[in-house]
Structure 1
Amino acid sequence: MKPIYHYTTVSEALNDLNEMGFTYDFNINENEILKNPHQHEVKHIYRYEGDSDPGDEAIVYGIISNSGKKGVFVAGFSANSDNQAAIILAKLCIEGSDQCEI
């Protein structure tokens, strides 16, 4: 059974991932995901839900690229999200669901 991580805040998830070596910022470099999605593997996922405001929802991905980059991508989480990188990462996780730790 894969470990399940529970965090109180997105910052806590990011700090833990950073300690595990996920230091590259895929938000700044999201074109890498957009141009070569299958060269990236989602290893960790954390979904954060705000206590009272649905606008506080976010998802944190821990990603490893084929080139060895370990990093994170943070996106707002909603049914109508139009962030293309987040959509690609969600699809990658579904395709490799046995590899994603939620």
Structure 2
Amino acid sequence: MKVYDTVTEAMEDLRKRGYITDFNLVFDSIQCPEGNIRPEDFEITETYRFEGDTDPGDEAVVYGIETKSGIKGVLMYGYGVYSEDMSEDMIRKLGQR
């Protein structure tokens, strides 16, 4: 795994390597233009964690994701104070790496 100093640097490099779709987290799936994708239908291929030195709002995880149908993209998830509600299946999936 590579090491990045910033979220932006990680996302730019992932995009250069073919992770071009932007995924959004919804309660029990990830969402992209092709629709909602359930936890059993995607794999997390890369994970990068960033901790805010002074602002908890800067804490984030960037995931490189590939779906079973071959879509590659990124999901940025802010954890801590600003984290979102999600299903137990999504918690397990995103916490596995």
Q: TM-score range by the shorter chain?
A: 0.7 to 0.9
Q: Which structure dedicates a bigger proportion of its chain to helix?
A: 1
Q: Which runs of 4+ in 1 moved over 6 A?
A: none
Which residue number corresponds to residue 58 of structure 1? Answer: 60
In structure 1, C-alpha distance between the alignment counterparts of 2:82 and 2:8, rounded to whole Å: 24
1:32 to 22, 30, 36: 36
Q: Which runs of 5+ in 2 are unaligned?
A: none
Which residue number corresponds to residue 84 of structure 1? Answer: 86
The Cα shift of 1:51 comes to: 2.0
The Cα shift of 1:93 comes to: 4.8
The Cα shift of 1:26 comes to: 0.8
SS of 2:14's partner is helix
Q: Percent identity over the alignment?
A: 40
Number of positions where the alignment pairs a residue of Structure 1 with one of Structure 2: 89
Question: What is the TM-score when the length of structure 2 is the normalising length?
Answer: 0.76
The Cα shift of 1:18 comes to: 0.6
Query: What's the CA shift string for 1:42-95, capped at 9, x where partnerless?
Result: 00001111221111101101000000000001110127733428x71x52255x
